[in-house]
Amino acid sequence: MKAHNSTVYTLERLFAFNKLFYSMRKAQNVLIIALSALVIAISVLYFAFIGFDTTIAISLACIIAIDLLLAFVIFILPKFTLKKSPVLDSVNEYCFYDDRLHVTTTGSDLTGSSEIRYEKLHKVCVTGDTVYIFISSRQGFIVDKSGFDEGSAEDVVSLISGVLGAKKVKIM
């Protein structure tokens, strides 16, 4: 099998990838928020029933600062950094073969190519109009489903699913 795709990395696609990346870490974020809420509640109860303690107040301030920093990193920082990303407006050409993926990237700040065997992929996420191919837990490729001029997204997802197994291919 051979399939070919060309995808331009627009700002909207980079934002969608970032949103997907953080949504996959939802359990971690919920745990951090829940633990923070618990510590804040305990601190407030401590202040109400026992009295003010400087050490607890400083610890509480640190936890709130860490929560605010986490929110900044997840929700606000990408709005600035993605606009300056070297992959913005670059074009990725994907050639899907029976056993591997060949990617060629061309852009004003970035040029290169690589080959990845399907069994080395971390996971694949499929949304309505995009296939996200993760080569690690933090890096991935954005494949626009409408960018196929040979083969189809369904063929590629089926092929990769056959190699990786259904657990590593998530249809969203």
Looking at residues 87-102, what average pLDDT do you find? 95
Residue 57: pLDDT band by 50, 70, 90 thresholds? confident
What sign has the CA pseudo-torsion 114, 120, 122, 125?
A: positive
Q: Is 94 exposed, middle or buried (0-12, 13-18, 19+ CB in 10 A)?
A: buried
Distance CA 33, CA 67 (A): 7
Contacts of 143 (CB under 8 A, 6+ apart): 5, 7, 92, 94, 130, 131, 132, 133, 153, 156
The answer on pLDDT for 25 being more than 80 is no
pLDDT band at residue 56 under the 50/70/90 scheme: confident
- Tokens, residue 63: 């936890």
> What domains can be seen in the chain, in order of their start residue?
3-9+86-171 (2.30.29), 18-84 (no CATH)
Cα 105 to the chain's mean position, in Å? 19
Which pTM does this prediction carry?
0.81
For the chain, what is the largest distance between any 2 Cα atoms, rounded to a whole number of angstroms?
71
Spatial distance between the Cα atoms of 111 and 130, rounded to a whole number of angstroms: 22
What is the mean predicted confidence (pLDDT) over 145-162? 94
Which residues have CB under 8 Å from 60's CB, separation 6+?
Answer: 39, 40, 43
Q: Write the CA distances from 89 to 27, 68, 135, 155, integer angstroms.
A: 32, 31, 21, 26
- 42-53: average pLDDT: 86
Task: Pick the more confident residue, 99 or 29.
Answer: 99
Strand 100-106 and strand 111-117: pairing? antiparallel
